[in-house]
Structure 1
């Protein structure tokens, strides 16, 4: 009887940990939906480091959405907390979602489309940095743009 109680307690503890981490993904989704991007970022960054959710395409896809939204935000309070490489983080997150999802899966399909959407703001940022004579930042953005679309010859004209 004692062993049954211990086994039950252990399974509830383990199950609670798994639920807590899937809850982090759900919380991140809900915070993003409510426009609370900083809280969404905190939750999703927890989820990508947990062994139960780090191999889930959905986790990485939502991370990409959150970082992309932060980069696109016009709100000063969001801009202040957005990492300068937010679009790179978003792109890499979508790429990871595509790798983890089965071919033709929901997050693979959506992730590929979202990866393409990141190119224009990265390219525009590179041009703005070039015009502002921020050469190191311009080169970094152009290199990232080349990584995203190696066949696009326009990027090569600027570099």
Structure 2
């Protein structure tokens, strides 16, 4: 009797072993291409658990394909078969690469009978979500746009495109938290530096989050990447002024000047600070010191030119607001002398700016106006010709 029980037990165990059939992983791919995604998912889910298939790279490759298809399907019958199918797909592809780093076995055959490699498939998948995001953005559906652009990040986490687009879409939809998250990844993790990205972060931290310390940190990081950018220098000064740290800013700049007395950028920054504080005289002195340190330092030359010119412009506005009385007309004549003197004082700076950057339209148009006001006809003809050449006129 005992022998009979033993035989039955052995047979039962054998039957159980026989029942655990090896999953036919190729059938998962066939089911996927036939649109039978539930069947395909069942096969690959079993395959990653089965002793004979769990360590096969193709098992994980096909699992990646199946779950990627689950993420892109428009068939509602299959849309809820898995949570986060794209993440599961990318994990499966990564596991396949871990098993076979060369990945020579990972391809499918297209309708023409040609092999399509895994990397090519991933590029197509990336492009699919990018296009979906662009379409959503163009339809002003920024929430979906962010969703699709974020999926491109899952597929190619080192590619900056998905983060740029996701940040812009989120900011357009006033989802500033998501926008900032994407922008910080760009500058901190991907070493991507753009003036627009920094300006967006400065705006979000300073104006939206009201966090001046964070805004100041971003401004200073932007200055490290773009040391010649005037706007970042001004923004730093404005932020410090807003934080009631004018004395700190001044002390910091002057301390740096003591260590580097020949550094024109430091004098320039000091000039920007004084200009923002509406102290034109000290600003002019600081810009001149920057030029003394480096006569070809364009930013200081340009700012000094603008500063001198604006003095004349303010006087012109005041003069134009005078009445027609005899006293007003007398005052206007006296003011015109001062205006002409200020314009003449501005000329050398504008001409130097034009010498350093000869195709700057603002500089040329300003010189054109000054030459006309001062009756400097020969120079007027020359600069007008330069402008026409820029416009493609003969």
The TM-score bracket by the shorter chain reads 0.5 to 0.7
Question: What root-mean-square deviation, in Å, do the aligned CA atoms of Structure 1 and Structure 2 show?
Answer: 3.6
Q: Which residue of the partner structure matches residue 31 of structure 1?
A: 31
What pairs up with 1:98-109 in 2 under 5 angstroms? 98-107=97-106
> Where does the alignment leave 5 or more consecutive residues of structure 1 unmatched?
1-8
The reply on whether 1:22 has 2:23 as its aligned counterpart is: yes
Contact persistence 2:23–2:46 (CA under 8 A)? no
Q: Distance in 1 between matches of 2:77 and 2:160?
A: 36
1:22–1:53 contact (8 Å) kept in structure 2 = yes
> Once the two structures are superposed, what CA deviation does each residue of 1:106-136 show, in whole Å capped at 9, x if it has no partner?
22893333222221233345556774353xx
Q: Within 5 Å, which residues of 2 pair with 1:34-113? A: 34-78=34-78, 80-83=79-82, 85-107=84-106, 110-113=117-120
Q: Deviations over 1:16-71 (max 9, x none)?
A: 477x1233x24423422432111111111111122331211111111122222233
1:132 is the counterpart of 2:120? no
- Cα distance in 2 for residues equivalent to 1:44 and 1:88: 16
* Paired residues of 1:37 and 1:70 also in contact (CA < 8 A): yes
- Uncovered stretches (5+) of structure 2, i.e. residues with no partner: 1-10, 108-115, 168-394
* TM score, norm. by length of structure 2: 0.31
Question: C-alpha distance in 2, partners of 1:123/1:40?
Answer: 26
| Bigger mean CA offset, 122-131 vs 82-91 | 122-131
Match of 1:148 in 2: 155
- The 1:154/1:102 distance shift into structure 2, 3 A limit, reads closer
Tell me the distance in 2 between the aligned counterparts of 1:67 and 1:123.
Answer: 18
Structure with more contact order per residue of length (Cα contacts < 8 Å, sep ≥ 6): 1
User: Contact 2:37 / 2:70 at 8 angstroms: preserved in 1?
Assistant: yes
1:32, 1:155 → 2: CA distance? 28
Aligned to 2:288: none
Higher Rg: 2
* Alpha-carbon offset, residue 91 of structure 1: 2.5
Task: Give SS of 2:23's match.
Answer: helix
Figure out how many residues of one structure are paired with residues of the other and give that number. 150
